[in-house]
């Protein structure tokens, strides 16, 4: 047959098929690329946002004797080159230049302080590029001195400015270190970091800040600081008699990170650690790899697995619906060619020729469209995944295969005639058994999914699709029964149109009903996506309030002066300020400690307003964490000894504590509150508040919410859900229109018969609406129920907390706005289509519809 001629004759249907195939291939090839690009960006943010000490690779070794000491920079450099050479290939793209080396002592006590002050010796390979000397001078070569009849080294060191104040030290002072193996340090200068916010200092926070440690059972604090010495200091630095550790830092860069390579990177880190340990043969102390990169990768992969699960569900539903709509368009094309192919079959055409003609014409429509969609998908940034290549091919194969198979079955005998419109065909026992089996397996899978989760069996991913198929089968089998009841009721009336319309709807052939059931997965998945997206959005808002605890929160490590508090109150946008003090307090008289916050709870509750978090009322006593419950009246040490009665148990304190031991008390229990926290109501600029109180960290609920939403994985999940929802809604509308057009010829013939009997145009319109609308409404309601039921049905199997500030997403609100809009839109399209169909049929000549003998 002449395929080109058939294409011109059926150009409109071919164009529809082309557009549907183009959109399906663009979605199935483009969305995975966009998603994978966002996964890569999420991994890069995870690595770059983590502290360097956690993400980077640190090779460390302890020196226990003079034989293991390293006294020259060259010895460090040679080992540094070795570590870079043995990095596994999978890990090598992430290791970037710019690392450094260090030598540090640990727990080096200041002689005579009773273990309350520690000054450690430190050397950084790039200290000259990292610090500015603001007092005194840079340290020089070590010297010696006599102490207790022995000659001991005296190291010239520099110390961070903060330590001069915190540890009561001064430039020019000499301190003796150790309890038996003594050394001395002479503080010749004080420095300041060039860029204190640089991730570099994550590895060396002991040099930049004084660490305060409270020993168990003690009220006082130990103070630790690490000094800086020059390269010359290495010549006298020995691990004999003290804790000396050498470190080589291999920094990890996020620029080359790929989510697809994450599992391999995890394995490469393990391999690198093994190879590093093998280099320990020449030393008594083993080399060790220290890094938090595997933990970072595990957390990322856990969040990624959840994102991929949700994406598999919605994209699988999208692909199924797209293929169903394309199959509807193919069915429409086949119906339009039916007369031509019937004549060809009757004139001796083989079944292979008939099926081949349908396949060729369908391929002529879908192959260029698939190629165009595949090409357009390359405009979407992101790596090329196998689905990018496989998806368009799958669409073409399904469309061409369906066309060939359908016409092969239809035209297996010449001059086929059927009168399935008179009575509904009864399904075979085998078919009923298979459908019951599908329903039972879907319900069993749903139970296992809730009980065991997705991690136990990847095949459980198919459960949502099985539930959709089960709902479709149940709908297909059960919907005629209520219609037949309505037929009996309308049969008792005098009006013929309701009886005829509902009778035709109840007796519709399964082949004509099944395409309409494409609406069920379309509505089910789109409603599911809308519900999930709304659940994530609402939980994100709760999480932002849980993180901050107020519209704006200011926290300081030191007391905030009253003058600065007054300035905050006068700042534009500030409506109310609630004072609070936080501290770690002693519980009872032993070593037990708890986090505490003293605040006017009534004022705090007032500034929270209608926020989704709150606290119980408290006028006296204390609110305690679950770990402190059951103590009745207890005593704490905070400025003074205070007895408190337990007034309630709370699981968390918004903005402050979520686990462990914590207490909330009224601010009035403190003899002189040292306010270090401000809870602010209003919309003041955080930057302005931070300028007024330099010692404070300012956080706002709106910024916290924006940060949660700005996460690449979170953004991708919500964006993809939105795109899929819109696409499925459009496919559902296309399915309604195509289902109207597919049955248009048969419907026009029936209406033409009735018009010869006196059916008016208005009655014809009502008849068409009553024939079409019941199936669409039933399918829309079932799809709506399926979409609303899937999130609770999946239950704990899909953990979405990674996209909602680490709060579990559950208790999905029953928001019917979007689902109702979809259902109403489909009903409206069906009604408008019915009216358009009758308007077109009215212009037809009855002789063009009815054959000779049809009226006899």
3-state SS string for 452-494: HCCCCCHHHHHHHHHHHHHHHHHHHHHCHHHHHHHHHHHHCCC
For residue 372, count CB atoms less than 10 angstroms from its CB and return exposed for 0-12, middle for 13-18, buried for 19 or more.
middle
CB atoms within 10 A of CB 597: 22
For residue 102, count CB atoms less than 10 angstroms from its CB and return exposed for 0-12, middle for 13-18, buried for 19 or more.
buried
| Structure-model confidence comparison of residues 403 and 280, the more confident one | 403
What's the pLDDT at 649?
A: 92
Q: How confident is the model at residue 376 (pLDDT cuts 50, 70, 90)?
A: very high
Q: How confident is the model at residue 139 (pLDDT cuts 50, 70, 90)?
A: very high
Lowest mean pLDDT across 110-124, 235-249, 328-342, 756-770: 756-770
Lowest mean pLDDT across 233-247, 277-291, 839-853: 839-853
Give me the residue label for tokens 């800086």.
228
pLDDT(853) > 60: no
Q: Which residues contact 644 (CB under 8 A, 6 or more apart)?
A: 621, 622, 633, 634, 635, 636, 663, 665, 669
Report the domain count for the chain.
2
Task: State how far Cα 828 lies from the chain centre.
Answer: 36
What's the pLDDT at 101?
A: 95
Phi, psi of 662 (to 5 degrees): -150, 160
Lowest mean pLDDT across 147-156, 638-647, 732-741: 732-741
Cβ–Cβ < 8 Å for 291, 57: yes
Query: Considering Cα of 336, then 340, then 345, then 349, what sign does the dihedral take?
Result: negative
Q: Which residues contact 398 (CB under 8 A, 6 or more apart)?
A: 323, 326, 327
- pTM of the entire predicted model: 0.73
Range of the domain at 228: 57-257+281-290
Residue 13 domain-assigned (yes or no): no
What's the pLDDT at 410?
A: 76
What's the pLDDT at 540?
A: 87
List Cα–Cα distances, 499 to 361, 479, 506, 745, in angstroms: 40, 17, 10, 21
Lowest mean pLDDT across 71-80, 152-161, 545-554, 794-803: 794-803
pLDDT tens digits, one per residue of 329-370: 888 888 888 777 777 777 767 778 878 888 888 889 999 999
Give me the residue label for tokens 């309350």.
116
d(CA 409, CA 395): 21
Residue 321 domain-assigned (yes or no): no
What's the pLDDT at 757?
A: 67
Q: Crossing angle of helices 463-478/429-452, nearest 10°? A: 140
CB atoms within 10 A of CB 337: 22
pLDDT tens digits, one per residue of 544-558: 999 999 999 999 988
> At 663, is the secondary structure helix, strand, or coil?
strand
DSSP conformation class of 626:
G
What's the pLDDT at 171?
A: 92
Q: How confident is the model at residue 134 (pLDDT cuts 50, 70, 90)?
A: very high
Q: What is the mean pLDDT of residues 848-855?
A: 49
List Cα–Cα distances, 519 to 418, 620, 817, in angstroms: 27, 60, 18
pLDDT tens digits, one per residue of 418-429: 544 445 556 677
Q: What is the mean pLDDT of residues 715-724?
A: 79
What's the pLDDT at 855?
A: 45
Helix (H) or strand (E) holding 830: helix 817-842
Q: Which of 266-270, 760-764, 765-769 has the highest mean pLDDT?
A: 266-270
Quick one: which of 574, 348, 558 has its CA closest to 566? 574
Q: What is the mean pLDDT of residues 206-227?
A: 81
Q: What is the mean pLDDT of residues 618-637?
A: 89
Residue 86 domain-assigned (yes or no): yes
CB atoms within 10 A of CB 674: 12
Q: Which residues contact 341 (CB under 8 A, 6 or more apart)?
A: 349, 354, 357, 358, 407, 411
Measured CA angle at 744 (ends 738, 750), to 5 deg: 155
d(CA 281, CA 427): 77
Helices (H), 492-518: 496-506, 510-513
What's the pLDDT at 837?
A: 62
752: tokens are: 């033409």
What's the pLDDT at 509?
A: 56
CB atoms within 10 A of CB 447: 12
Half-sphere exposure of 472 toward its Cβ, with a 13 Å CA cutoff? 21
Tell me the pairing of strands 662-665 and 593-599. parallel
DSSP conformation class of 706:
H
d(CA 595, CA 590): 15
Q: How confident is the model at residue 516 (pLDDT cuts 50, 70, 90)?
A: low
Cβ–Cβ < 8 Å for 645, 517: no
Lowest mean pLDDT across 84-98, 198-212, 454-468: 454-468
d(CA 235, CA 541): 58
> At 665, is the secondary structure helix, strand, or coil?
strand
Cβ–Cβ < 8 Å for 628, 587: yes
Q: Which residues contact 782 (CB under 8 A, 6 or more apart)?
A: 471, 472, 474, 475, 520
Average pLDDT for the chain: 83
Cβ–Cβ < 8 Å for 469, 436: no
pLDDT(844) > 70: no
- Of 670, 694, 718, the residue that ends a domain is 694
List Cα–Cα distances, 448 to 454, 455, 461, 793, in angstroms: 9, 11, 11, 11
d(CA 320, CA 269): 40
Q: What is the mean pLDDT of residues 624-643?
A: 87
What's the pLDDT at 256?
A: 84
Quick one: which of 103, 90, 82, 78 has its CA closest to 276? 82
What's the pLDDT at 852?
A: 43
Quick one: which of 512, 334, 345, 337 has its CA closest to 412? 345
pLDDT tens digits, one per residue of 446-481: 777 666 665 545 555 577 777 888 888 888 777 777
What is the separation, in whole angstroms, between the first and last Cα of the chain? 36
- Of 266, 290, 314, the residue that ends a domain is 290
Give me the residue label for tokens 């630790």.
224
Q: Crossing angle of helices 712-742/701-710, nearest 10°? A: 60
d(CA 505, CA 735): 17
What's the pLDDT at 420?
A: 47
What's the pLDDT at 631?
A: 85
d(CA 178, CA 175): 10
Residue 633 domain-assigned (yes or no): yes
Q: Which residues contact 602 (CB under 8 A, 6 or more apart)?
A: 617, 618, 619
Residue 84 domain-assigned (yes or no): yes
Q: What is the mean pLDDT of residues 431-448?
A: 82
Lowest mean pLDDT across 162-176, 640-654, 769-783: 769-783
Residue 227 domain-assigned (yes or no): yes
Residue 583 domain-assigned (yes or no): yes
């Amino acid at each position: 047959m002449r395929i080109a001629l058939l294409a011109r004759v059926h150009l409109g249907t071919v164009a529809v098929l082309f557009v549907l195939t183009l959109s399906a291939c663009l979605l199935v090839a483009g969305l995975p690329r966009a998603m994978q690009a966002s996964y890569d960006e999420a991994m890069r943010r995870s690595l770059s946002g983590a502290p360097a000490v956690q993400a980077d690779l640190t090779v460390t070794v302890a020196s226990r004797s003079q034989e293991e000491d390293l006294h020259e920079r060259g010895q460090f450099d040679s080992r540094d080159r070795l570590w870079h050479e043995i990095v596994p290939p999978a890990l090598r793209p992430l290791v970037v230049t710019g690392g450094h080396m260090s030598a540090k002592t640990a727990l080096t006590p200041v002689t005579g302080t009773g273990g309350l002050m520690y000054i450690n010796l430190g050397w950084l390979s790039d200290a000259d590029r990292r610090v500015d000397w603001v007092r005194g001078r840079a340290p020089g070569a070590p010297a010696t001195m006599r102490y207790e009849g022995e000659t001991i080294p005296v190291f010239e060191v520099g110390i961070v400015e903060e330590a001069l104040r915190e540890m009561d030290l001064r430039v020019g002072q000499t301190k003796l270190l150790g309890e038996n193996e003594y050394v001395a340090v002479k503080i010749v200068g004080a420095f300041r970091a060039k860029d204190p916010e640089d991730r570099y200092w994550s590895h060396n926070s002991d040099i930049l800040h004084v660490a305060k440690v409270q020993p168990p059972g003690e009220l006082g604090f130990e103070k630790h600081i690490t000094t800086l010495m020059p390269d010359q200091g290495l010549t006298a630095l020995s691990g004999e008699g003290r804790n000396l550790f050498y470190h080589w830092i291999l920094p990890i860069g996020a620029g080359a990170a790929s989510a697809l390579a994450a599992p391999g990177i995890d394995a490469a880190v393990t391999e690198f650690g093994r190879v590093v340990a093998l280099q320990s043969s020449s030393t008594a102390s083993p080399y060790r790899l220290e890094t938090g990169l595997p933990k970072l990768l595990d957390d990322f992969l856990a969040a990624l697995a959840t994102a991929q699960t949700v994406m598999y569900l919605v994209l699988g539903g999208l692909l199924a619906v797209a293929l169903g709509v394309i199959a509807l368009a193919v069915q429409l094309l086949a119906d339009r060619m039916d007369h031509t192919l019937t004549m060809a079959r009757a004139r001796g055409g083989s079944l292979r020729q008939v099926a081949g003609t349908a396949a060729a014409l369908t391929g002529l429509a879908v192959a260029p469209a698939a190629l165009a969609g595949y090409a357009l998908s390359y405009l979407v940034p992101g790596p090329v995944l196998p689905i990018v290549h496989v998806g368009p091919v799958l669409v073409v194969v399904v469309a061409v295969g369906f066309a060939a198979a359908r016409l092969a079955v239809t035209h297996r005998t010449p001059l086929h005639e059927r009168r399935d419109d008179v009575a509904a065909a009864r399904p075979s026992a085998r078919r009923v058994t298979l459908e019951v089996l599908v329903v039972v397996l879907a319900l069993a899978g749903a139970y296992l999914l809730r009980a065991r989760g997705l991690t136990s069996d990847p095949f459980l991913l198919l459960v949502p699709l099985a539930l959709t198929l089960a709902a479709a089968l149940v709908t297909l089998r059960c919907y005629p029964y209520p219609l037949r009841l309505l037929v009996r009721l309308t049969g008792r009336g005098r009006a013929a149109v309701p009886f005829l319309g509902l009778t035709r709807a109840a007796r519709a052939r399964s082949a004509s009903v099944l395409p309409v059931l494409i609406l069920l997965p379309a509505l089910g998945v789109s409603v599911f996506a809308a519900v999930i997206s709304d659940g994530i959005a609402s939980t994100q808002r709760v999480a932002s309030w849980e993180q901050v605890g107020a519209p704006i929160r200011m926290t300081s490590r030191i007391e905030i002066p009253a003058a600065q508090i007054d300035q905050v109150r006068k700042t534009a946008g500030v409506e109310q300020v609630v004072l609070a003090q936080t501290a770690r307090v002693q519980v009872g008289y032993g070593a037990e400690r708890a986090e505490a916050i003293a605040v006017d709870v009534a004022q705090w509750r007032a500034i929270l307003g209608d926020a989704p978090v709150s606290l119980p009322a408290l006028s006296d006593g204390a609110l305690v964490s679950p770990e402190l419950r059951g103590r009745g009246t207890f005593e704490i040490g905070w400025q003074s000894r205070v007895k408190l009665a337990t007034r309630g148990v709370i699981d968390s304190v918004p903005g402050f504590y979520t686990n462990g031991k914590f207490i909330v008390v009224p601010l009035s229990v403190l003899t002189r509150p040292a306010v270090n926290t401000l809870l602010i109501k209003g919309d003041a600029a955080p930057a302005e508040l931070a300028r007024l109180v330099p010692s404070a960290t300012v956080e706002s609920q709106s910024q916290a919410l924006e940060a949660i939403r700005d996460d690449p994985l979170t953004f991708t999940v919500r964006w993809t859900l939105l795109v899929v929802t819109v696409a499925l809604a459009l496919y559902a509308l296309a399915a309604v229109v195509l289902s109207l057009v597919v049955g248009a010829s048969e419907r026009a013939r029936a209406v033409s018969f009735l018009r010869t009997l006196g059916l008016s145009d208005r009655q014809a319109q009502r008849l068409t609406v009553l024939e079409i609308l019941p199936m669409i409404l039933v399918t829309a309601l079932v799809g709506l129920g399926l979409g609303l039921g899937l999130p609770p049905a999946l239950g704990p199997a899909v953990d979405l907390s990674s996209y909602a500030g680490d709060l579990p997403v559950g208790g999905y609100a029953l928001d019917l706005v979007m689902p109702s809009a979809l259902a109403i839109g489909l009903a409206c399209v069906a009604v408008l289509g019915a009216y358009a169909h009758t308007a077109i049929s009215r212009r037809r000549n009855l002789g063009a519809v009815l054959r000779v003998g049809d009226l006899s």
